[in-house]
Each structure stands twice: as C-alpha cells, then as structure tokens.
Structure 1
Amino acid sequence: MNLARASNVRHEFYKAVWFYLKVVWPIFSILLLVIITFGLIIAHLEGWGPLDGIYFAFVTGLTIGYGELVPKLGVSRVLAILLGFNGVLMTATFAAISVRAIEVTVTAARKEE
C-alpha cells in the first residue's frame, strides 16, 4: 500500500470515528457527566478537593486505579463501584465505535481495489 492510499485510509477511519461518536454523543456525554458528578459527590463526602474527586472518578472509571486516593466511607465505596461499571460501559462504547469505524473503512478500501 502506498503512502497516499494509507493516508486516505487513515483519514476515512477518523471520519468514521467522528461520525459514530456524534451518533452516540448523548449517551457518551451522560456517562461523562455521571463520572464527574460521582467524583464531586465522593470528594465532598471524603473531604477532598473537587479536582481530586474528579481525578479519582476518572482513574477509577477508566480502571487505572493508582490507589493514591482511597474512599473510606461506605457510601463513597459504593459510588466508586458504580464508577467502575460506568467507566467500563464508556470504554466499551468507545471501543465499539472504533471497531465499527474499522469495519466501514476496510469495506470502503476493499471496494476501491
């Protein structure tokens, strides 16, 4: 595959990702809003700063889990578990968008051959 064609295929992939991201944006934005909201609630309950709570929420939701912020209260821990499920759903949504964009791009590239 020459460089011009490879560049075109990448461009088509990014266009497809953007298209499908716009389709699921309402769902994706709700998932992001839940992460931020839960992070702020946990920060308030645990006595952390708001940015620490949002940071904790994304680290937990994306299943990274550095462990530098650990909720002590039971309610905060339950919210952290829900954050984990929410983050897995968000990651799966983005993965599904990427897979669909690859399918569309490969199909279009095969038609051009």
Structure 2
Amino acid sequence: MSLSHAAHVRHEFYKTVWFYFRVVWPIFSILIFVIVLFGLIIGYLEGWKPFDGIYFAFVTGLTIGYGDLAPKLAVSRVLAIMLGFNGVLMTAIFAAISIRAIEVTVKAMEHGE
C-alpha cells in the first residue's frame, strides 16, 4: 500500500465519519446537552463552580472518573449514575459511527473507488 493510497483511505474514512456524525447529530447534541445540564445541576447542589460541575459531568460521562470531585448528596449521586449511562450511550454512538465508516471505506476501496 503506497503512502498516497493510505492517505486516500484515511480521507475517505474521515469523510464517512463526518457524514454519519451529521446524521446522528440531533441525538448526539441532546446527549451533550444532558451532560452539561446535569453537570451544572450537580455543581449547584454540591456547591461547586459551574465549570467544575461540567468537568465532573464529562469525566463521569466518559467513564474516566479521576475521583478529584465526588458528589456527597444522594440526588447528585443518582444524577451521576445517569450521567454514566448517558456517556456510555454517547460513546457507543461514536463507536458505531466509526465502525460503519470503516465498513463503508473498506467496501469502497475493494470496488476501486
């Protein structure tokens, strides 16, 4: 495989990812909105700065979980659990887009496009 062919394959892959990302953008944007909203709510309930709440929400939603911020209130913990499910769904959608893009790109390359 030549370098230019590899670059062409990557270009086709990214183009396909972008296409499918635009298709699921309404769902993806709702999931991001929920993460930010829950982060702001948790931050408010826990007495954190707004940015800290959003940071906590994304770290939790993306299942990173550094542990530097941890909710103490029961309602905040329930919201954090919901954030985890929301983040797993968001990650699964992005993984599905990537896998579909790989399939489409490989099929196109097999047909000489």
- Shorter-chain TM-score category? over 0.9
Structure-2 separation of matches of 1:31 and 1:104: 26
Shift in Å, 1:14? 0.3
Could you list the runs of 4 or more consecutive aligned residues of structure 1 that deviate by over 4 angstroms after TM superposition?
none
Q: Find the counterpart in structure 2 of residue 71 from structure 1.
A: 71
* Structure 1 unaligned blocks of 5 or more: none
Amino acid at match of 2:29: S
TM-score (norm 2): 0.99
Q: Distance in 2 between matches of 1:41 and 1:50?
A: 9
Distance between the aligned counterparts of 2:69 and 2:4, measured in 1?
Answer: 47
| Corresponding residue of 2:57 | 57
Structure 2 equivalent of residue 39 of structure 1: 39
Q: What amino acid is the match of 2:108?
A: A
Aligned length: 113
Shift of 1:68: 0.5
What are the equivalent positions in structure 2 for 1:1-113 lying under 5 Å apart? Answer: 1-112=1-112
Percent identity (aligned): 76
